[in-house]
Amino acid sequence: METKVICPGSFDPVTRGHVDIITRAARMFDHVIVGVLNNLAKNPSFTTEERIALLKESLKGIDNVEVVGFDGLLADYAKQQGVTSIVKGLRAVSDFEYEFQQALTNKKLNPDLETVFLTSHSEFMYFSSSMVKQVASLGGDISSFVPECVHDEILARLKQTL
């Protein structure tokens, strides 16, 4: 039986931390759907299509990963895809509180859905997509935060929008 999971996020923009979690999930499961969603609480710098393209470029060579966009509730999308597990990355205790609440909500909406938490490697614990945006907007070097293959594209966009 194939194990299929969803690794959801806004990925605005994709970071080395995102790539690390997705790569590790791809080693653990047969098929990983990277679900790019629009988070209503965030004002994205990149369109959904642009985020999908950046992720596909960043994840080239990982054959069991599929990058897609979706709208609506994650619990409903997982059911439509026949997926019973979500993989989420955790950087700090503050992430856990939010992600735990999300996991419980998803479980209530879809009782078959489980959430698997992967902790970030220490080198990725201190930054987020929001931090990448802030550093770039102030002229800082984001090269250690984002995949090299998409660095220039991300930097160009963040300089335009911030």
What 3-state DSSP class applies to 135? helix
Q: Name the amino acid, one letter, at 49.
A: E
88 is catalytic: no
Residue-level pLDDT at 162: 52
Q: What is the DSSP letter of 120?
A: P
Tens-binned pLDDT, residue by residue, of the chain (162 aa): 789 999 999 999 999 999 999 999 999 999 999 999 987 677 889 999 999 999 999 999 999 999 999 989 999 999 999 999 999 999 887 788 899 999 999 999 999 999 999 999 989 888 899 899 899 888 889 999 999 999 998 888 887 665
51 is catalytic: no
* Identified catalytic residue from 45, 51, 129, 133: 129
31 is catalytic: no
129 is catalytic: yes
Could you give the CA distance from residue 123 to residue 133 in angstroms, rounded to a whole number?
Answer: 18
Beta strand ranges found along 19-121 (DSSP E): 31-37, 65-70, 85-90, 114-119
Query: To 10 degrees, what angle do helices 129-137 and 151-161 make?
Result: 70
Residue-level pLDDT at 161: 61
Q: Which residues lie closer than 8 Å to 64 by C-beta, 6 or more apart? A: 26, 29, 30, 31, 32
* Identified catalytic residue from 18, 24, 51, 133: 18
* Identified catalytic residue from 42, 60, 108, 159: 42
* Identified catalytic residue from 4, 16, 24, 91: 91
Residue-level pLDDT at 160: 65
Q: How much is the CA Rg of the chain, to the nearest whole Å?
A: 15
pTM over 0.75: yes
Residue-level pLDDT at 43: 82
